[in-house]
Amino acid sequence: SSKASEEPSPSASNGKLVVGFAQIGQESGWRDAETASVKETFEGDPGFELKFSDAQQKQENQIKAIRTFIAQKVDAIALAPVVESGWETVLKEAKDAGIPVFLLDRGITKGNEDLYVSFIGSDFILEGQNAAKWMIDELGADAQVNIVQLEGTVGASAANDRKKGFEDAIKDHAGYKIVYSQTGDFTRAKGKEVMEAYLKKDKNIQAVYAHNDDMALGAIQAIEEAGLKPGTDIKIIGVDGIKPAFEAIAAGKMNVTVECNPLLGPQLKQAILDTKAGTKLEKWIKSDEDVYSGQKAIDALPNRKY
């Protein structure tokens, strides 16, 4: 009846905007910081209600969470896509239900831009380039550098693009060789495991490029246990800028971290409010980031927020 259609939707009935967040998991310090930022932002605002789902690194769980959010008629969905591909069907369902979707921190396969409002996050290609640039500036353009690359989760945009940016940036330097490249799934434990296994075969490595700091920290442990000095014998390059990486740099065990900002809660909230107000948003809301090594890292340590 016309009366029923005038009734407010269940999610809007208490006047709050309901936001469903399909988070990936708890694989890294970075992700914990992002989760905390989103929870703080929305749980601290009486105008919002947050529904939070932890997918334990499984895409199928994220898809289930999105379907639940759709059934609950939430006002907006935030998705941190664990991998790039395979989102078309479920995001189409959200679109058909009229629910705006925001991609948080990782992207999805190109060509699906009509399935989300905005991607809020970093330029991973640039991060990979910056990691390579630091290495080349520090070790010299003509140096012989055997590199172990610890890749992030297979199929994740953050892994694909950090690899691409880095590999493109070293390809004109004949001495820079990736002697081994293997996923460590963005976790400290796997980073350590992969590094341990490689060091048993070959210790002629001058650098480790890890797609995140947690894997770099795991590699540092493996290198120490193999009797080598991380930071000196083997240069350690990470991405994220989590506090433990700054501490490792201060301790001389790590050399550089390429910052990637996880504190995306406030930007997500603003994007949702803008969308509700009918404002057209940028397709990519980019984070501002820096590169930290040496004294600059030591000076920044006391003020790190994550």
Closest approach, Cβ 107 to ligand GYE, in A, equals: 9
Contact flag: residue 212 with ligand GYE (CB under 6 A): yes
Buried b (16+ CB within 10 A) or exposed e, 209-241: bbbbbbbbbbbbbbbeebeeebbeebbbbbbbb
Closest approach, Cβ 243 to ligand GYE, in A, equals: 13
Sheet of strand 17-23, all strands in order from the earlier edge strand to the far edge: 48-54, 17-23, 76-79, 101-104, 118-121, 284-286
Give Rg (Cα) of the chain: 21
Contact flag: residue 158 with ligand GYE (CB under 6 A): yes
Residue in the block written with tokens 């989103």: 38
**CA distances (Å), origin 229, targets 16, 46, 53, 243, 292:** 54, 51, 40, 21, 20
* Interface pick for ligand GYE out of 105, 151, 161, 259 (rule CB under 6 A): 105
Are the CB atoms for 191 and 181 separated by under 8 Å?
no
* Residue with Cβ nearer ligand GYE (75 or 289): 289
Distance CA 60, CA 139 (A): 43
Q: Supply the DSSP string of 75-127, one letter for each residue.
A: SEEEE--SSSSS-HHHHHHHHHTT--EEEESS---TT-GGG-SEEEE--HHHH
Closest approach, Cβ 7 to ligand GYE, in A, equals: 40
Contact flag: residue 185 with ligand GYE (CB under 6 A): no
Residue 126 has phi, psi (to 5 degrees) of -60, -40
> Segment contacting ligand GYE (CB under 6 A): 22-30, 90-98, 141-149, 219-227?
22-30
Contact flag: residue 31 with ligand GYE (CB under 6 A): yes
* Interface pick for ligand GYE out of 240, 241, 253, 292 (rule CB under 6 A): 240
Distance CA 108, CA 106 (A): 7
Give 304: exposed, middle or buried? Use CB within 10 Å, 0-12, 13-18, 19+: middle
Distance CA 194, CA 180 (A): 10
* Interface pick for ligand GYE out of 87, 186, 198, 292 (rule CB under 6 A): 186
* Site track 32-61 with ligand GYE (rule: CB under 6 A), x = hit: ------------------------------
Closest approach, Cβ 239 to ligand GYE, in A, equals: 6
Contact flag: residue 163 with ligand GYE (CB under 6 A): no
Contact flag: residue 28 with ligand GYE (CB under 6 A): yes
Contact flag: residue 260 with ligand GYE (CB under 6 A): yes
* Interface pick for ligand GYE out of 30, 102, 180, 292 (rule CB under 6 A): 30
* Residue with Cβ nearer ligand GYE (31 or 192): 31
Q: Contacts with ligand GYE: how many residues (CB under 6 A)?
A: 12
* Site track 115-154 with ligand GYE (rule: CB under 6 A), x = hit: ----------------------------------------
Residues of this chain that interact with ligand GYE (CB under 6 A) are: 27-28, 30-31, 105-106, 158, 186, 212, 239-240, 260
